[in-house]
């Protein structure tokens, strides 16, 4: 599942990041790396922007970035 498809407040593990530069570097700098825990806190009505908790850090990302992040369920 991609990050943009994830439900709010459910914890997932990042399994893969499929992005080209400079998006990949930007995501890695914000803490989006394979194995890290992530959950969506909120998103805009049109799902163009997402408030995300990555480990213990809250960040906002765009839909184009969310589409690059592959998740796996932690349960």
Task: List pLDDT tens digits, range 6-25.
Answer: 999 999 999 999 999 999 99
d(CA 15, CA 13): 6
Quote helix, strand, coil % in the chain, to nearest 5: 20, 45, 35
Mean pLDDT score, 45-65: 96
Output the pTM of the full model. 0.91
User: For the chain, what percent of residues have pLDDT higher than 70?
Assistant: 100
Question: Which domains can be identified in the chain, with CATH numbers?
Answer: 3-73 (2.30.30.90)
Q: Is the pLDDT of residue 75 over 80?
A: no
Q: Is the pLDDT of residue 42 over 90?
A: yes
pLDDT score of 20? 95
């Amino acid at each position: 599942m991609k990050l943009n498809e994830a439900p709010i407040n459910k914890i997932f593990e990042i399994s893969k990041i499929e992005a080209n530069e400079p998006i990949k570097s930007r995501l890695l700098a914000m803490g989006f790396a394979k194995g890290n825990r992530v959950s969506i806190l909120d998103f805009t009505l049109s799902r163009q922007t997402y408030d995300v908790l990555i480990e213990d850090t809250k960040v906002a990302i765009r839909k184009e970035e969310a589409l690059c992040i592959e998740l796996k369920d932690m349960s």
